A and B are shown apart, each in its own frame.
Chain A
Amino acid sequence: MAHINYEAAKRVAYRGFVILGVVTIVEVFIALLGKGYIVEGFHLSRPVMYLAMICLSLYKAYYIIFEFMHMRYELPGLVRSVLLPTILLIWVIIAFFYEGDTWFHWRKSVQEIPAEMQLARPAGNAGLIPVQSADSTEAQEAVPADSSRPAGQVQPGHTH
Chain B
Amino acid sequence: MMTTDQTQQTPVSNWEGGREPFKASYGKLMMWYFLLSDAFTFAGFLISYGALRFSSPTWPVPDFVFSSLPGGIHHKPLIFVTFMTFVLIVSSVTMVRAVQEGHRYNKKGVALWMTLTIVGGLIFLACQAWEWSTLMGKEHMTIHVNPFGTHIESGTYLDGDGHDVQKGDQFTAGKSYLIHKHGDEWAPLRYQTESGEIKQQQFGPKAFGALFFFITGFHGFHVFSGVVFLSIILVNVLSGIYANRKNHYEMVEKIGLYWHFVDLVWVFVFLVFYLL
Contact = CB atoms under 8 A, between A and B. Distances in A.
B82 A86 contact: no
B27 interface: no
A20 B87 CA distance: 12
A17 to B, nearest CB: 4
A32 B76 CA distance: 10
B268 A57 contact: yes
A10 B103 CA distance: 12
Given A65-B264, A127-B144, A128-B205, A57 B47 contact: no
B51 interface: yes
B79 to A, nearest CB: 8
Given A21-B86, A128-B205, A13 B275 contact: no
A64 B32 contact: no
A10 B44 CA distance: 36
Interface stretch (A100-108, A112-120, A145-153): A100-108
B43 A89 contact: yes
SS class, residues of chain A in contact with chain B? helix
B22 A77 contact: yes
Interface stretch (B2-10, B90-98, B128-136): B90-98
Interface in B98-118: 99-100, 103-104
Given A61-B267, A65-B264, A69-B257, A128 B206 contact: yes
A27 B82 CA distance: 10
Contacts of B85: 24
Contacts of A77: 21-22
Nearest to B85: A24
Interface string B20-52: 011110000100110110011001100110111
Given A32-B77, A64-B260, A81-B22, 4 more contacts: A13-B96, A32-B63, A69-B257, A78-B32
17 contacts: A10-B97, A10-B100, A16-B92, A17-B93, A53-B275, A61-B268, A69-B256, A78-B22, A82-B32, A82-B36, A92-B47, A100-B54, A102-B55, A107-B57, A126-B202, A126-B203, A126-B206
List 5 A-B pairs, minimum CB-CB distance, nearest first: A100-B54, A127-B206, A103-B55, A100-B51, A78-B22
